[in-house]
Each structure stands twice: as C-alpha cells, then as structure tokens.
Structure 1
Amino acid sequence: MLELVLRGAAIGLGATVLMDLWAIVLNRGFGLPRPNWGLVGRWVWHLRDGKIFHDAIGNAAPYSGELALGWAFHYAVGILYGIILALLVGVSWFVQPTFLPAFIWSILTVGAGWFLLAPGMGAGWASSKAPNPTKVRVLNLVSHTVFALGLFGSALLIR
C-alpha cells in the first residue's frame, strides 16, 4: 500500500509539473494567460470560514500568503490525483503502464474544476460565466489530457 501511495505521489507530481510547463507553452506561444494560483489560494483560504461559493473571488478579502497557498494546493491536488489513480489501477499497472487509465482518470478530474472550483470562484458551473465558456472548457480538457500524459510518462520513468 505504501508503495502505491509513493508511486502515485511521484506520478502526480510529474504530471502537475508537465501541466505547468504546458501552461508556459500556451502563454509564450499563444499569449494565453497562465493560471492565477493566487486567486485559487484566496478561495482555499476562505474555505476555512465555510465559504465555498463566491460571486467573484477577486472581490473576496485577500490573504497575504494566497499565492503560495494556491501553488501548494495545486500541487497537493495533482499529487492526490496521482495517488488515487495508483490505488485504482494497482501495482500491476506500474509494471506496464498504459495511457487509457491515466486519460480516463484525468478527464474525470475535470469535473472538480467545473463543478467545484469554477463555481466556487464565481465563474459559474463549468465556467459558464466566463467570456468564452467553450474556450475555457476545451482548454481544461486539453490541459487534463496533458496531465494524463504526465501521469503515464512519469509511470514509465519510475517503473
């Protein structure tokens, strides 16, 4: 069990790093804004008060450590997703990893962003209040596909 948790943490970390590199490519190559982990940190900070849903997280009271908290949360979630995948697929998957389980799991995790984080920060269900919800949704699916590639690639590296 400990081996699965450690392997899961490793692939979750690797996948999150790859996802962040992808965000840099999108920013430098296409001018797309990078994720604002400071606002995510602000959202996480307000969870302690029981406040899950905001009309606009930018209007919520700021927290001096929100950027660090946002980055820590981002990596903690990525590592947790890796651990959950490891527990779902078991040790045998790490002997000969395949892409499909990582891809299915990564696409399922989009739901947390669409139905918890986005509405929690005031962007609406599946970013329905964004200026271009379809663009945001497609980018979410592509980014989580990159995350799947990171899970799979990291599993190949550590086998």
Structure 2
Amino acid sequence: MEMIIKAILIGVGATIIMDLWAIFLKTFFSIPSLNYAFVGRWIGHMTKGKYMHQSIATAAPIPGETAIGWMAHYMIGITFSILLVLIWGEQWTASPTIGPALIIGIGTTVAPFFLMQPGMGLGIAASRTPKPDVARMRSLMAHTVYGIGLYLAALLLTRIY
C-alpha cells in the first residue's frame, strides 16, 4: 500500500510540474495549453457511446466538462506514475533515477498521439491541426517535462517521506 501512496504522490507532483510548464509557456511565450474542458467533453461523450469526433470544439458541451477534464488529467498522471513504479519497483521510489522517469514521460506521448487527438478530431499525432509538427513538438515537450517531473517529485518524496 505504501508503494501505491508514493506512486500517487509522485504522479500528482509530476502533473503539477507539467502544469507549471504550461503556465510558463503561456505567461512568457503566449503559447496556449491544452483546453481540459475539451478533454472532459470527449470523456463525457464516451458515456453516451461516442468515442470519435470530427471536432471536439463543435461537439455538444457536457455539464462539468472542465472539472472532468482536469480530474482526468491528474488521474492519468497518477496512472502513468503507478506504471513507472510497477515496472521499476519500490526501489526506484527510494532511489529515483532520471532514465526510467524519462522513458515513462516520453512514452506517454503515445496516448495523445494515438488516442486523444484522433478521438477529438485532430487526427493521428495531430495530423489534422493547422501546424501538426508544432503540435507534436509541444506534446513531446510537455510529456518530457512530465517525465522530469516524475523524477523531481520522487526525489522530493525521498527527502520528506
């Protein structure tokens, strides 16, 4: 049970770091971040059996979609952290290294490229967006930051837990 608690705390910490990165990009470079209301809308429509959209922006809004999207964002961050701990074990939480964290972080880019973006009408790996290469690079950067966040959160946890 302690290992799961550590993984949850690491996942929350890493997701916060990812969010701080998004705030940094928006504040200093006017680069908008993902609209989590659209994530919530996509998830909300799944409960009605609709998994693919031409454009999530034009799909009917779902009550509470912003909250749903943000909760999903953190639950996904926690889930990938649990995956890291399951693969590398509790030993990694006691003595974290950057390699496994980056493997998981960068590896999580598969989810938006092949699940979220196609489901939201953006195409595989953002191929239907106005600037696919820019969208891909932003996803890769955000998920790399998440990987760095996994490492930093685990490192912090070793100091306080």
Shorter-chain TM-score category?
A: over 0.9
Structure 2 partner of 1:92? 91
In structure 2, C-alpha distance between the alignment counterparts of 1:64 and 1:47, rounded to whole Å: 13
In structure 1, C-alpha distance between the alignment counterparts of 2:33 and 2:92, rounded to whole Å: 33
Length, aligned pairs only: 158
In structure 1, C-alpha distance between the alignment counterparts of 2:128 and 2:93, rounded to whole Å: 40
In structure 1, C-alpha distance between the alignment counterparts of 2:49 and 2:62, rounded to whole Å: 16
Structure 2 partner of 1:81? 80
Unaligned runs of 5+ in 1: none
Q: Deviations over 1:103-147 (max 9, x none)?
A: 011111110110000000000000001111101111111111110
Deviation at 1:64, TM superposition (A): 2.2
In structure 2, C-alpha distance between the alignment counterparts of 1:20 and 1:69, rounded to whole Å: 16
Identity %: 45
List structure 1 runs of 4+ shifted beyond 6 angstroms: none
How do 1:1-159 and structure 2 match up within 5 A?
2-159=1-158
Deviation at 1:52, TM superposition (A): 1.1
TM-score, normalization: structure 2?
Answer: 0.95
Unaligned runs of 5+ in 2: none
What root-mean-square deviation, in Å, do the aligned CA atoms of Structure 1 and Structure 2 show?
0.8
Output the amino acid matched with 2:93: F
**Matched-pair contact (CA < 8 Å) for 1:18–1:147:** yes
In structure 2, C-alpha distance between the alignment counterparts of 1:140 and 1:34, rounded to whole Å: 10
TM-score, normalization: structure 1?
Answer: 0.96
In structure 2, C-alpha distance between the alignment counterparts of 1:94 and 1:34, rounded to whole Å: 30
**Matched-pair contact (CA < 8 Å) for 1:43–1:52:** yes
**Matched-pair contact (CA < 8 Å) for 1:5–1:87:** no
